[in-house]
Amino acid sequence: MNTNPRSNPHCAAIIVAAGRGTRAGGPVPKQYAMLAGLPVLRRTLHPFAQHPGVGKIVVVIHPDDRLIAEDAARGIEISFVDGGETRQESVYNGLKYMENTNPDTVLIHDAARPFVTLDILSRTITAAEQHGGAVAGLPVADTLKQVGDAAAILETVPRDGMWRAQTPQTFRFAPLLAAHRAVQGKALTDDAAVAERAGMTVVMTRGSEDNFKITTPDDLERAERLAMTRHDTLVGQGYDVHAFAPGDHVWLCGVRIAHDQALRGHSDADVALHALTDAVYGALGAGDIGQHFPDTDPQWRGVASDRFLRHAMEMLAARGGRLVNVDLTIICEQPKLAPHRDAMLATLGDLTGLSTDRIGLKATTTEKLGFTGRGEGIAAQAIVSVGLPASP
Nearer to Mg ion, 51 or 242 (CB): 242
Is the CB of residue 238 less than 8 Å from the CB of residue 312? no
Name the β-bridge partners of 325.
385
- Closest contact distance (angstroms) between CB of 273 and Mg ion is 9
Is the CB of residue 359 less than 8 Å from the CB of residue 328? yes
DSSP readout, 142-193?
Answer: SPEEEE-GGG-EEEEEP-TT-EEEEEEEEEEHHHHHHHHHHTTT---SSHHH
Instruction: Tell me how far apart the terminal alpha carbons of the chain are, to the nearest angstrom.
Output: 18
What distance in Å separates the CA atoms of residue 291 and residue 280, rounded to the nearest whole number?
14
Nearer to Mg ion, 21 or 290 (CB): 290
Interacting residue with Mg ion among 30, 123, 180, 274 (CB under 5 A): 274
Q: If binding is defined by CB under 5 A, does position 308 make contact with Mg ion?
A: no
- Closest contact distance (angstroms) between CB of 320 and Mg ion is 28
- Closest contact distance (angstroms) between CB of 265 and Mg ion is 6
Nearer to Mg ion, 62 or 274 (CB): 274
- Closest contact distance (angstroms) between CB of 297 and Mg ion is 14
Please tell me what DSSP assigns to residue 209. T
Checking DSSP bridges between strand 144-147 and strand 153-157, what pairing results, if any?
A: antiparallel
Which residues lie closer than 8 Å to 232 by C-beta, 6 or more apart? 387, 388, 389, 390
- Closest contact distance (angstroms) between CB of 302 and Mg ion is 13
Nearer to Mg ion, 273 or 359 (CB): 273
Given the rule CB under 5 A, which of 6-14, 97-105, 274-282, 331-339 is the region that contacts Mg ion?
A: 274-282
Position closest to Mg ion via CB: 274
Task: Tell me the torsion sign for CA atoms 95, 101, 104, 109.
Answer: negative
Nearer to Mg ion, 274 or 322 (CB): 274
Nearer to Mg ion, 5 or 290 (CB): 290
- Closest contact distance (angstroms) between CB of 338 and Mg ion is 23
3-state helix, strand, coil in the chain (%, to 5): 35, 30, 35
Q: Which residues 224-243 are close enough to bind Mg ion by CB under 5 A?
A: 240
Which residues lie closer than 8 Å to 368 by C-beta, 6 or more apart? 333, 374
- Closest contact distance (angstroms) between CB of 271 and Mg ion is 6
Residue 338: CB atoms within 10 Å: 8
Q: Which residues 106-135 are close enough to bind Mg ion by CB under 5 A?
A: none
Please count the residues of this chain forming the interface with Mg ion, following the rule CB under 5 A: 2
Nearer to Mg ion, 25 or 290 (CB): 290
Nearer to Mg ion, 116 or 273 (CB): 273
Q: Which residues 135-174 are close enough to bind Mg ion by CB under 5 A?
A: none
Contacts of the segment 22-25: beta carbons below 8 A, 24+ positions apart:
23/215, 23/216, 23/217, 24/214, 24/215, 24/216, 24/217, 24/219, 24/220, 25/217, 25/220
- Closest contact distance (angstroms) between CB of 244 and Mg ion is 14
What distance in Å separates the CA atoms of residue 288 and residue 277, rounded to the nearest whole number?
8
Given the rule CB under 5 A, which of 82-90, 267-275, 278-286, 325-333 is the region that contacts Mg ion?
A: 267-275
- Closest contact distance (angstroms) between CB of 242 and Mg ion is 6
Nearer to Mg ion, 292 or 358 (CB): 292
Residues near Mg ion (CB under 5 A) = 240, 274
